[in-house]
């Protein structure tokens, strides 16, 4: 992966790609190589470890970075930042029993939003929220435990969002120290959710948070 010595640790960088298999190993390789490129060090100076709860952490020269790793069928994504604990999730857009799932698992306001959309939009809308909830759980270090599915995330201000829409992180209702966002990628075939837990370092202004979401090629693993 290319070196990026001008990268700022105040940016949340999300790199994603499609893959033909072995997503877990490739995601681990990508996060190490991405961290090495951002910090301008050799990949051999960084290694990936896991906390007792499963959260990935970087050792060696990568200790200054917070990272998150996710993979789904045929796709993977990693998030890196020097700001605060981060979470990322990727899902393949597919047809779901979205209305029933929304009523069963989501906050009532979120369920009302999903079920109020045309049926053809409901599956992607559900995944738009789901990926953010997964990401928030990762950023908090607790997954979807302790009511994670019912934890509200911001509803989109514009729908459908489209890939040309700016990626803007917004504060969670009732949790001002956590921000989240979602973005459609790969021609609308996948959605990526992202979250940052600012509370561990003191809140910053969400409007100034810089998000860099980029697709990378298989060469990142070479």
pLDDT at 205 over 60: no
Q: What is the pLDDT of residues 96-122, one digit of tens each?
A: 999 999 999 999 999 999 999 999 999
* Mean local confidence (pLDDT), 89-95: 95
d(CA 3, CA 42): 9
Residue 58, Cβ density class (10 Å: 0-12 exposed, 13-18 middle, ≥19 buried): buried
90/146: higher pLDDT: 90
How many other CB atoms are found less than 10 A from the CB of residue 210?
A: 13
Alpha-carbon span 119 to 115, nearest angstrom: 8
Compute φ and ψ for 81, nearest 5 degrees: -160, 155
- Give the model's pLDDT for residue 7: 63
Picking from 111, 73, 106, 105, the residue whose alpha carbon sits closest to that of residue 189 is 73
Give dist(CA 134, CA 144) in Å, integer. 7
The pLDDT, as a whole number, for residue 17 is 93
Q: Is residue 79 a contact partner of residue 87, using CB atoms and an 8 Å limit?
A: yes
Third-level CATH fold of 11-221: Ribosomal Protein L22; Chain A (3.90.470)
Residues 1-20 as b or e (16 or more Cβ within 10 Å = b): beeeeebeeebbbbbbbebe
Question: What pLDDT shows up at residue 220?
Answer: 58
Q: How confident is the model at residue 1 (pLDDT cuts 50, 70, 90)?
A: low
Tens digit of each residue's pLDDT (9 = 90 or more) over 142-167: 876 666 777 899 999 889 887 777 78
What local confidence, expressed as pLDDT, does residue 207 receive?
56
Quick: pLDDT tens for 6-50: 567 678 999 999 988 788 888 889 999 999 999 999 999 999 999
pLDDT at 54 over 70: yes
Q: Phi then psi for 131, rounded to 5 degrees?
A: -65, -35
Question: Can you give the residue ranges of every domain in the chain?
Answer: 11-221
pLDDT tens, position by position, 180-200: 999 999 999 999 999 999 875
pTM: 0.91
């Amino acid at each position: 992966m290319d070196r990026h010595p001008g990268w700022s640790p105040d940016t949340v960088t999300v790199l994603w790609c499609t893959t033909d298999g072995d997503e877990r190993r490739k995601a681990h390789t990508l996060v190490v190589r991405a961290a090495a490129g951002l910090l301008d060090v050799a990949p051999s100076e960084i290694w990936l470890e896991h906390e007792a709860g499963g959260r990935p952490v970087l050792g060696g020269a990568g200790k200054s970075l917070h990272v998150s790793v996710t993979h789904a069928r045929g796709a993977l994504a990693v998030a890196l930042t020097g700001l605060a604990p981060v979470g990322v999730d990727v899902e393949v857009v597919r047809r779901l029993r979205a209305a029933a799932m929304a009523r069963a698992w989501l906050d009532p306001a979120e369920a009302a939003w999903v079920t109020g959309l045309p049926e053809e939009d409901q599956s992607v809308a559900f995944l738009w929220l789901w990926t953010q909830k997964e990401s928030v759980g990762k950023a908090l270090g607790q997954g979807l435990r302790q009511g994670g599915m019912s934890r509200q995330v911001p509803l989109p201000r514009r729908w459908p969002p489209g890939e040309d829409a700016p990626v803007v992180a917004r504060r969670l209702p009732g949790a001002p120290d956590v921000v989240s966002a979602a973005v459609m990628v790969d021609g609308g075939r996948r959605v990526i959710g992202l979250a940052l837990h600012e509370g561990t370092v003191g809140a910053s202004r969400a409007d100034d948070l810089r998000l860099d979401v980029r697709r990378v090629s298989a060469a990142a693993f070479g």
